[in-house]
Every structure is written in structure tokens, then in C-alpha cells.
Structure 1
Amino acid sequence: MKRTPHTAAVLTLGAVLIAGTAACSTDSAAEPDKIGVVEKLPADPNEAKSKENAKEFRSWVEAHGTAQEKEAVGRVQRIIGEWNEKTGNAYLSTDIEGGKTQVEDPQAAATAIVKAFGEWKDSDQGYASVYDVFGNAMITNHKF
């Protein structure tokens, strides 16, 4: 049986570690990937406005949504982004996977949120993405 020399093993391990750290980024800004998916919640340039957007959305769903939508949309904390009647991107920050009560089915809650958002903001080219309490994407680029 032939053994790999210790030096070669150390050099190989060093190369793997260097390649792994080169792939990491210290940039904290959320950037879309090649297909336009933003995996981390973007920075909130106007927290007061994003909280107001969420409040308006929750109020609309309370008046027009289903019971499942009302429960799920109650988790929306902020809505970041720019959109109008025809186009734009909305990033919905929630307390899913956190908050005072546990969400039984987080993915179903996220789905109910984007469905309600689509009903609230009818658009031809808009997209909504839902993020959990840690800022991780749960649903991305749901057309509304």
C-alpha cells in the first residue's frame, strides 16, 4: 500500500481551504443571483415606510383575506421595495421561524402571504419574495 506524503496532504488541504474562503464574500448587501433571486433580505432604506407598507397590507388582508391569509399575513413585519400597479419587486420580511408563537407550517404561511400580496397588488410584471425572521428567502420571485 502506498502512502501519501504528509506534505502533499497538508498542501492539498491548504488549497481546499483557500478555495473555500475565496468563494465567501464579506459584502453584506443582497444581490440577485444569475436568475434574479435574492436569497437574503435586502437592506431597508426606509424602515418607517416599509413598516407602513406592512400595516396597509395587513389591514387590507384583514378586510378581504381568507382565514389562512389573515393568520399568515399577521407575521409580516415590513415590506421593502418599489412597486406600482404594473411592475416592481416586493420583499416581505416576516417573523416566521421566530416570534412569540411557532408557525406550524412555515412554507404554507409563506405561500399564503405571497398569494394575499398578489390579490392586494394586482400587477402584470411584479414579483414578491418572502423572508423568515433571519432574513433567509422562503419564497422568491412569486409573480403578483
Structure 2
Amino acid sequence: MRDPETIFADILDRQNREAVRGEARAIFQSMLNRKLWRKDYKDMNYSIMYPISERVCLFYTFAFAIRKVLDLDLPAVFDSPYGMLDSEMRQGVRAFLKEQSCQQILLGKESEFKEDESPHYILEYKYTGSCSRIRDTH
């Protein structure tokens, strides 16, 4: 496992930065591909205030681009990954995540997930005893 300082030094390397930029652009376009009004983000201008759903996708985009370019084998953890996304963005993110081979941990309400994405484990809060338990759904 590489130490965090080495990873961040690699990100700052110009060649890696350009590779991350190119990979991020491709990932972002694939997520936006389902938008009806689809903008062409040839130059991703980070000073523009994008809608919240696009900002969430930009975060996912950079996280996955950095993982790929730097060849980091880390699990991807998402807390309510679809909560702030409109239906079209949700479809784009779902399609993208299904293509990824890395371990993914998605935390959210059952209503956020489709039936074919049924969770493998559900965290149930027990009011008596003020604790939670993990239930296997498969």
C-alpha cells in the first residue's frame, strides 16, 4: 500500500494531472450522456457554479479518474450516492458504477436503490437498546 504523501505527490505531477484531467472529462461525459439537454464540457470550468447534481458527479469523476490514473486499489464508499441527483443523472451514475470493477460500498435509504440493485446488507436500527444490527438480505 502506498503512503498518502506519495499518492498526493503523484497527483501533483504534471503528467498525471493531465492524465487525470483527460480521464475525468471522459467519465463526466459518460455520466452526463443520459441528460436530455447534454452540454458539451470540452473545457470543464471549475469556477462556474454547476447544479448540485453535476457537482456531485464531478466529485465522483475525479475520485475515479485519480484511482485509475494512479492505479489505486481502494474501495469506493458513497453516502447517499443518488440523493441529490435528478433521474437522468442517477441513470448515468448507476450505469457508470455498474461498469466499475472495484469494491463499492453504497450507503443510503432502500428507496434510493432499484430492485436489481438490492442491497446485500441492511443496517437496521433497534430502538430498544439504541443499537444497529446488520442483516444479510441474500
Q: By the TM > 0.5 criterion, same fold?
A: no
User: Which is strand-richer, 1 or 2?
Assistant: 1
* Structure 2 length-normalised TM: 0.29
* Structure 1 length-normalised TM: 0.29
